[in-house]
A = this chain, B = another copy of it.
Amino acid sequence: MEKIGVGLIGTGYMGKCHALAWNAVSGVFGGELKPELVTLAEVNEELAAARAKDFGFAKSTGNWRDMLADPDIHIISITTPNEFHPEMAIAALEAGKHVYCEKPMAPSFEDAQKMLEASRKSGKKTFLGYNYIQNPMMRRIRDLLNAGEIGDVLQIRLEMDEDFMANPDDEWGIKSGAASGFGALDDFGVHTMSLLMALDLRIAKVMCHMTKPYATRKDASGNDKTVETYDAATVLFELENGGNGTLQLNRSAWGRKGRIAVQIFGSKGSIVYDQERMNEMHVYKAEGDVAGQGYTTILAGPAHEPYDRFIPAPGHGLGFNDLKIIEVNEILKSLQGQESHLIDFERGIFIEGLVQSMAKSHEQSGWVTV
């Protein structure tokens, strides 16, 4: 048994999620390599200290750079707003730390490239927080595709919808400003691209159309302010294998809370999945008696690795946070040189490039080859 020292920057939505995962992974998975929660960094010392106690970190700091020189820290979790990713990731890599960074890599493609370069120079490992690919159901889908269970993949439709930007009466906020990126496309749409990657499906060509449900929003003074980002994006794509599909991304979709709907049509069957019911998947196989054909609803269970590490009984259900625990375990496996299932900066840059191609397609109103 060995230890790996962890530093974490940020304690918001994803910061907490990382903290819980680092804390839980050993209990859930056992494993030889044990994380040691060394330092927690936040914007000020007080907050950092309070959270460190809750999350079980030994030390805390109001200055994340304090962690760079700490020899007890081997990996740094970065969960700050996207604009801080490049500076932090590059500094951490240069300091000889492995980097575990939330997606997407960076608001600008240039910065993402710099992050990649830094990682190459450092010889350290990098990991991106594309947690949805860790769902045992998603792994099962990949295995079915690879085994040819539904034949050739002909068409895939991905929808990712939430409604946190759906209320037209909500004030103009940073997500409406161009500095935050394109909008739905990179804000959360990259998750759908990570799923394609995890399923070994490679996009060759895109046609993207982005829209603004609301052209303006009130600012704090009650004046109309122009919305600069696109809350909805739709992408046609062709796959390298000859198949095709669509991404439909919408963060203004009233009623949708955590929807990532996947439909995969193959030459011998099809697969359907929706993240809002993340413990289920549906498989149709065109075989046997027609009178008995239909979608089979499979509930996640111990037969779907690594569900059994959490619960020995099927149908009892994993939660969203459990995906992060699986992700962290994959990181530990990678750090031990074992086969793992992750997206690093090398693969992540492909997703960032996809976003650029899509944005370019939108501007040009035409198809763009990736």
Contacts and interface: CB of A to CB of B under 8 A. Distances in A.
Contact of A278 (B150, B151, B317): B317
A299 B211 contact: no
A326 to B, nearest CB: 12
A59 interface: no
A259 to B, nearest CB: 7
A295 B258 CA distance: 14
Interface string A20-51: 10011011101100100000000000000010
A27 B23 contact: yes
Copies of this chain in its oligomeric complex: 4
Nearest to A289: B303
Contacts of A270: 253-256
Interface in A292-313: 292-299, 301, 303-304, 310-313
Contact of A321 (B54, B253, B310): B310
A136 B20 CA distance: 20
Nearest to A235: B236
Interface in A203-226: 207, 209, 211, 213-214
A122 interface: no
A146 interface: no
B257 A315 contact: yes
A28 B24 CA distance: 11
Interface stretch (A78-86, A109-117, A243-251, A333-341): A243-251
A134 interface: no
Interface stretch (A66-74, A164-172, A343-351): A164-172
A319 interface: yes
Chain A interface main SS type: mixed
Contacts of A258: 299, 313-317
Given A268-B254, A312-B13, A294 B296 contact: yes
Most buried by B among A16, A267, A294, A366: A294
A284 B24 CA distance: 35
Contact of A286 (B166, B278, B304): B166
A102 interface: no
B303 A290 contact: yes
A119 interface: no
A252 interface: yes
B303 A298 contact: no
Contacts of A280: 277
Contacts of A365: 366-367
A293 B34 CA distance: 35
Contacts of A299: 257-258, 276, 294
Given A258-B315, A317-B319, A252 B154 contact: yes
A222 to B, nearest CB: 19
Contacts of A232: 154-155, 244
A159 B265 CA distance: 13
A269 interface: yes
Given A166-B286, A310-B319, A155 B269 contact: no
22 contacts: A13-B312, A26-B55, A154-B252, A207-B207, A254-B268, A254-B284, A255-B272, A255-B284, A257-B301, A257-B313, A277-B280, A282-B297, A290-B301, A290-B303, A291-B304, A295-B296, A316-B320, A317-B317, A317-B319, A317-B320, A319-B319, A319-B320
Given A13-B313, A291-B304, A321-B322, 4 more contacts: A20-B24, A26-B53, A30-B54, A162-B315
